[in-house]
Amino acid sequence: MVDPSAIGRIVAALAPSPGETLLEIGPGRGALTAALLTAVPAIWAVEIDRDLAARLRALYPDDRLRLIEEDVLDVAFSRFAGGGRLVIAGNLPYNISKPVAMKLIVERRFVARAVLMFQREVAERLTAQPGTRAYGPLTVLAGRAYRIERLFDLSPGCFRPAPNVVSTVTGWTAREDGALPESLFPKLRSVLAAAFAHRRQTLQKNLRVRLEGGDAAARELLAVAGLDGAHRAEAIPPEGFVALAHGWPG
């Protein structure tokens, strides 16, 4: 990222305070890192690229930048949280953006809020409404764990080298209303995987394949959840999948 205005908008959106524990995912050449360090005395950062990590260590030889040279997908957020919750920033590599989003969902108890940049199509998926093509399992899970909003788009000219896509900066705030309890999470993931297995098929047809009792079990589960099995999964609001998860076997 080379646009100072864009960097400033990201830091302003995150609004970190000196007492918070801040984690940057994929600092790269350190453009956002430098701006973050004007707001807080020190940050954690995870960078997998050996050359970029060496460059960052040369730029910050003191302990202001606590750099971990690993794959962020392999590093537990609890390692940084210290019993509290993290504030996270990141210009995410597009090839791991969806896995990172899922990591934030899985490890949500260690995250207070985040400002993350995605390819625009991924941001649309995260914030999609039922009935749209972008709506899917990631939408439902992310929306139960966080309140997510699209903040602003960044053109390819904000980066060097310029990508072939538009990027979108998103804001994540952890939900405190118990919308995704740990006990329900595995079943909800299973329900969503089954319901969206074949997007053009009805909910009834998709569920019967995954349930031991076939059609009869699917009809019973749908009736208890108050859902019409003739609809496709993309037409079902998040609350409908939660209702299915409560009755899901296992």
- pLDDT for the residue 177: 80
In sequence order, the 6+-apart residues with CB closer than 8 A to the CB of 51 are: none
Return the domain boundaries, the chain. 4-174, 185-247
Token pair belonging to 221: 């589960």
Q: ∠237-242-244 over CA atoms, to 5°?
A: 100
CATH ID of 185-247, from 2.60.40.10, 3.40.190.10, 1.20.1630.10, 1.10.8.100: 1.10.8.100
111 - beta bridge partners?
Answer: 86
- The tokens for 42 are 């020190």
Q: What are phi and psi of 169, to 5 degrees?
A: -90, 130
Vertex 70 angle, CA 14 and 34, to 5°: 35
**Rounded distance, CA 84 to CA 165, Å?**
36
Determine the distance from the C-alpha atom of residue 160 to the mean position of all C-alpha atoms in its chain, rounded to a whole number: 25
| pLDDT tens, per residue, the chain with 250 residues | 788 899 999 999 999 998 899 999 999 989 999 999 999 999 999 999 999 999 999 999 888 999 999 999 999 999 999 889 999 999 888 889 999 999 999 999 999 999 999 999 999 999 999 999 999 999 999 999 999 999 999 998 888 888 888 999 999 999 988 889 999 999 999 999 999 999 999 999 999 999 988 999 999 999 999 999 999 999 999 999 999 999 999 7
Which candidate, 243, 75, 102, places its Cα nearest to that of 172? 102
- First CA to last CA across the chain, in angstroms? 46
Q: What is the pLDDT of residue 107?
A: 96
Q: What is the CA radius of gyration of the chain?
A: 20
- At the top level of CATH, which class does the domain 4-174 belong to? alpha beta
